[in-house]
Amino acid sequence: MALSHSITQTHSYAVVLGEVNGLRRLPIVIGGFEAQAIAVALERMSPSRPLTHDLMKNFMMAFNVELHEVVINDLQEGIFYSKLVCSSANDTVEIDSRTSDALALAVRFGCPIFTYDNILDQAGILMEDDGKTKSVSPVTTETGGSDDLKALSLEELEGLLAEVLDHEDYIRAIAIRDEIKSRKSK
């Protein structure tokens, strides 16, 4: 799973899911809050207070409900639909979910994400063995914002990192942290 800015929709991001043992990728456009929730879990950050998806996981764990898998089960007019496959001691149920929320929970639980071939055929992109796309998708670019970070000093970056963390802008914090790590490793 990778997270990047969407070049087609302002203030949107794309989660790019990769096929296990395959070359297909599925880009899914999501909002900024959901992207932040996914980024926090992917980067194993510990916010000072639980985000909504952390609260949901804590609630599920408190009542012995386990998330086994996420299934992206439909695509209609560019909108993905998903189900959470959950179980308790007594029952297994499928719960309807926005795909962005399902992905945020999947990252937290470490559960697999599945979809159908027809959805990959409709919305997926195919990568070649060298990592380049065979058919170019206009949905994603690499995470942006790094050009303006290169102009800042290490001290300015560290100050900016503290500031964005105070504002709980974890996506920006990841980019700043990566720039700091890059400089310190040189």
Q: Are residues 107 and 156 in the same domain?
A: no
pLDDT higher than 50, residue 141: no
| Coil vs helix vs strand at 135 | coil
CA-angle at 19, arms to 30 and 110, nearest 5° = 65
Q: What is the pLDDT of residues 6-52, one digit of tens each?
A: 444 556 788 889 888 888 888 888 888 888 889 888 888 888 888 89
Is there a domain that residue 175 lies in? yes
Is there a domain that residue 130 lies in? yes
Q: Are residues 109 and 176 in the same domain?
A: no
Q: Are residues 59 and 148 in the same domain?
A: no
In this prediction, residues 88-108 reach a mean pLDDT of 95
User: Pick from 84, 91, 52: which is nearest to 68 by CA?
Assistant: 84
Q: Are residues 58 and 149 in the same domain?
A: no
Q: What is the DSSP string of 46-75?
A: --SS--HHHHHHHHHHHTT-EEEEEEEEEE
Q: Which domain holds residue 17?
A: 2-63+100-142
Q: Are residues 156 and 120 in the same domain?
A: no
Q: Are residues 58 and 26 in the same domain?
A: yes
Q: Are residues 51 and 110 in the same domain?
A: yes
**20 to each of 2, 13, 112, 148, 158, how far by Cα in Å?**
14, 22, 10, 35, 37
| Coil vs helix vs strand at 43 | coil
Confidence (pLDDT) at 1: 67
Is there a domain that residue 19 lies in? yes
Q: Are residues 105 and 50 in the same domain?
A: yes
- Helices vs. strands in the chain: H and E counts, helices first: 7, 8
Mean pLDDT of the chain: 81
End-to-end alpha carbon distance in the chain: 28
Q: Are residues 10 and 52 in the same domain?
A: yes
pLDDT higher than 60, residue 5: no
Q: Are residues 185 and 107 in the same domain?
A: no
Is there a domain that residue 179 lies in? yes
pLDDT higher than 80, residue 85: yes
